[in-house]
Amino acid sequence: MKVLLAFALLLAVAAATEKSYDGHKVLRTGKLTAESAQILRSIQITSNHIDFWTEPAPGRRADMMVSDDLVADVEKFLANNDIHFHTMIEDVQSLVEEVESVRPKKNKMVAEGKKYTLDWDDYYSHDVLNEFLDSLAADNDFAEVINIGKSYEGRDMNVLAVKKAGEGAPSVFLEAGIHAREWIAPAVATYLMRELVENYAAHPDYLDKINWYLLPSANPDGYMYSHEHDRMWRKTRSDTGSLFGCKGVDPNRNWGYHWGEAGVSHDKCSDVYCGEKAFSEPEMQNIKAFVESLNPVPVLSHCFHSYSQLWLWPYGYAYNEYPENRAEIEQLAIDASDALYQVHGTVFDPINSAELYPAAGASDDWYKGSLGSRFSFTTELRDTGRHGFVLPKDQIVPSGEEMWAGFEVVINKLIEVSEQQ
């Protein structure tokens, strides 16, 4: 009994401390061949000792975070398999401390004349994101906050519904933060919503003709865990019954469209663990139930992720599987990426999701294939690897500015197609 109590105390202490990434390196491969990409994909889904920051795909580079005690072995493995590489980030913990993005501003006061804490000069907690939604709803009679349920740990999952266009108008669903460590995603999604609502006079058609639904925090438990305990945490925080105490499911492998078919692991300790079944996670159940309740079905469902600077279009569950409106959706991704480039010269590559890597059970595939959205996209935001997930906070605003330019192209297309019906 004493041994069990001591072990439980040890686990509690470990959970309460912040994980350090001292000595962890990020290795970047050269462009992978089909064979070398498959070798690394096999490692990804069978080993939990390497954290793949980007996915191994033919013709692309893969980024891998490796602990100091494994670097020599991993480098030897890569060399033996003729996979060229270099060290992209020498010490992950130093990078985290350098960019000073390890904490939201807990004690920041709301500025005079401003009604919410959130700004786009830093990264903020789940509660501050929800406060932002509450403030926009309180200030606009055409907006409301809808609670779609609670997370595994009991956090409120709130959606901002902006319904100025009225009943029956086309709608858009924006999902951000499904992967916990991708802090730039909720920041950019809220930036876009602020522009839509608070700068209404500059583009009235965007609200007059389209209804908007924003979920800025699709994985609130994981998001807060990445703020408070482990900056590189990716998954949810559910109890999986793992013998090793491993928690959580990859929420972007947990959706019921071709669930579990490719690019996933059934190891509960893996970062790409897809869960025991589709929609095993309460967070995904909440989102599914909410978007299915919308009438009409959202004409666009858009997912914000990081990093790699990509504008992805479905499907991603297998190679050479495309939606019926492939030409239309692909061209829109190209046009949006072109507009985005004009702002800061940031290059986004518009590609099919499976060209990056086949991965089944992703939300964007489900929005397109099961829900029936005409358009479904995932944007992988800044950068291309210099900082990876630890994107400096001074890049939030420029990221929002360029994404807004791309988004305007999409919005105008949505208005055009709705007026043709």
Domain of 274: which CATH number?
A: 3.40.630.10
Any domain includes 108: no
Q: What angle do CA 334, 214, 361 make, to 5 degrees?
A: 65
Any domain includes 117: no
Model confidence at 4, in pLDDT bands (50, 70, 90)?
very low
Q: Which of 264, 117, 135 is nearest to 198 (CA)?
A: 135
Any domain includes 106: no
pLDDT of residue 101: 47
Any domain includes 107: no
| Domain match, 306 and 190 both | yes
| Domain match, 376 and 320 both | yes
14/70 Cα distance (integer angstroms): 22
pLDDT of residue 14: 44
75/59 Cα distance (integer angstroms): 20
Any domain includes 403: yes
| Domain match, 266 and 165 both | yes
pLDDT of residue 100: 60
The residue among 50, 83, 99 that closes a domain is 99
| Domain match, 221 and 358 both | yes
Q: Is 380 labeled as catalytic in the residue annotation?
A: yes
pLDDT of residue 3: 38
Residue 343 is encoded by which pair of tokens? 């702002």
Flag whether pLDDT at 293 surpasses 80: yes
| Domain match, 290 and 206 both | yes
Any domain includes 348: yes
| Domain match, 79 and 156 both | no
The share of the chain scoring above pLDDT 70, in percent, equals 93
Q: For the segment 16-47, what is each residue's pLDDT rounded down to a tens digit?
A: 468 999 999 999 999 999 999 999 999 999 98
pLDDT of residue 98: 87
How many residues are given for the chain?
421
Any domain includes 150: yes
Q: For the segment 249-259, what is each residue's pLDDT rounded down to a tens digit?
A: 999 999 999 99
Catalytic residue among 330, 380, 416, 419: 380
The share of the chain scoring above pLDDT 90, in percent, equals 89
Model confidence at 421, in pLDDT bands (50, 70, 90)?
confident
Q: 152: domain range?
A: 126-228+256-420
Flag whether pLDDT at 104 surpasses 70: no
CA distances in angstroms from 334 to 58, 313, 365, 407, 409, listed in the order given: 21, 10, 19, 12, 10
Flag whether pLDDT at 240 surpasses 70: yes
| Domain match, 93 and 130 both | no
User: Under 8 Å CB-to-CB from 220, ≥6 apart: which residues?
Assistant: 126, 151, 153, 155, 156, 157, 177, 283
Flag whether pLDDT at 11 surpasses 80: no
3-state helix, strand, coil in the chain (%, to 5): 40, 15, 45
Whichever domain contains 89, its CATH number is 3.30.70.340
In sequence order, what E strands does 132-269 have?
143-150, 156-162, 171-176, 211-215
For residues 21 and 232, the answer to whether their CB atoms sit within 8 Å is yes
How many structural domains are present in the chain?
Answer: 2
The residue among 64, 99, 134 that closes a domain is 99
How many H-runs (helices) and E-runs (strands) does the chain carry? 13, 12
| Domain match, 34 and 94 both | yes
Model confidence at 149, in pLDDT bands (50, 70, 90)?
very high
Helices 396-420 and 184-198: crossing angle, nearest 10°?
Answer: 60
Model confidence at 113, in pLDDT bands (50, 70, 90)?
low
Strand order in the sheet with 375-381: 143-150, 156-162, 211-215, 171-176, 300-306, 375-381, 310-313, 349-352
Mean pLDDT of the chain: 93
Model confidence at 5, in pLDDT bands (50, 70, 90)?
very low
pLDDT of residue 99: 78
| Domain match, 176 and 86 both | no
| Domain match, 133 and 94 both | no
Q: What's the average model confidence in pLDDT over 52-71? A: 95
Q: What are phi and psi of 279, to 5 degrees?
A: 60, 35
More confident of the two residues 105 and 365: 365
| Domain match, 314 and 166 both | yes
Any domain includes 268: yes
Q: What's the average model confidence in pLDDT over 133-157? A: 98
| Domain match, 88 and 137 both | no
